[in-house]
Amino acid sequence: MNRRKSRVAKLLLGTCLLATSLVAGPGVVYAAPRAAEVAADPADTSLLDPNVALRTYQEQADLQARTLLRSEDNTVIHAELPSTSQKGEFELLRSYSAEPRSLRYASIKFEGDGFIKSNVIVRVLQSEVNQVEKGDREATALNEHNYQFRYKGVEMLDGHKMHVYKVKPFKKRSGLFKGKLYLDAETGRMRRVEGSVVKTPSFFLRRIDFVQDFAEVDGFTVPTELHSTARAHIIGRAVVSIVHRGYRLTTRSQGQTSADSGSNSNSEAASNSNAMAGTAAVATAASDQDSH
């Protein structure tokens, strides 16, 4: 039974790491605050029409895919299995390049259980690299080809009005989710996605829930935080927090870099055509672990 629990623990924690990218400090795992519902004001002409906001988001995502050449940030991953009191925190330098398409991690510091590091985080990071370099991003992109969007109204998030859409995938396959999309009502930029994975990679797993936040750095959408919880039949619950800070971005046209301050930001939300690409990477990692 202990061996079986160990195997399921690796599967559970690996699957809980839902994205390549994600304001709490390092190592802090918390439940993201719920957005407050507000009534839309027809007289407020500063708000985009919901259909225009959605179209603007998709246009921004396409533009970013064509414009962003490289990005670099400091990533901190905190993983915890409450039932066995195992946890670990890994700080890394994350580097992405569009030409050629590649993703690299350089270790900065690790603290915690070696099991969590070697059997969970490192394996999932490698799977994420494989997904970025070899995966089909179009198959998991958050767009009209993969999802149905239903407008739900206006809500407040971090002091900003959001157009909120219920999203549901057309197909039940790995890498897709059902939940909500939050777009800034004034700019159309993506601020948050939340929900649950529609297809888990193993019968051990009952449910995987996540909240992923985004921010704008020099006109680009970048993930800032991911908070995820997975529930399984044998092990129970696993919690993962991923935080990204200190972005340096390089555009294709200018070849110039810019850096954010690394502090907590209340900037407008940002859009990312590959917001859920990491879900497919985690599914792959979990499936690999389950086969061992």
Summarised one tens digit per residue, pLDDT across range 264-279 is 332 222 233 333 333 3
Q: What is the spatial distance between Cα 142 and Cα 172, in angstroms, rounded to a whole number?
A: 14
Q: What is the spatial distance between Cα 157 and Cα 210, in angstroms, rounded to a whole number?
A: 17
Categorize the per-residue pLDDT at 43 as very low, low, confident or very high, splitting at 50, 70 and 90.
low
Q: What is the pLDDT of residue 141?
A: 86
Categorize the per-residue pLDDT at 287 as very low, low, confident or very high, splitting at 50, 70 and 90.
very low
Enclosing H/E stretch for 207: strand 205-217
Query: What value does the mean pLDDT take over residues 152-160?
Result: 95
Cβ pair 287, 123 in contact under 8 A: no
pLDDT in tens, 7-20: 555 555 555 554 33
- Where are the alpha helices (H) located in the chain, listed in sequence order? 2-16, 50-67, 114-116, 122-134, 277-290
Q: What is the pLDDT of residue 3?
A: 59
Report the share of the chain in percent with pLDDT over 90.
Answer: 42
Q: What is the spatial distance between Cα 53 and Cα 189, in angstroms, rounded to a whole number?
A: 8
pLDDT in tens, 192-221: 999 998 987 666 677 889 999 999 999 998
Cβ pair 189, 270 in contact under 8 A: yes
Q: Quick check: pTM over 0.75?
A: yes
Categorize the per-residue pLDDT at 120 as very low, low, confident or very high, splitting at 50, 70 and 90.
confident
DSSP reduced 3-state for 263: coil
Report the share of the chain in percent with pLDDT over 70.
Answer: 69
Query: Between 26 and 112, whose confidence is greater?
Result: 112
For all residues of the chain together, what is the average pLDDT?
A: 76
pLDDT in tens, 226-256: 998 888 777 678 888 899 999 999 998 866 5
What's the alpha-carbon Rg for the chain, to the nearest Å? 18
Q: What is the pLDDT of residue 231?
A: 82
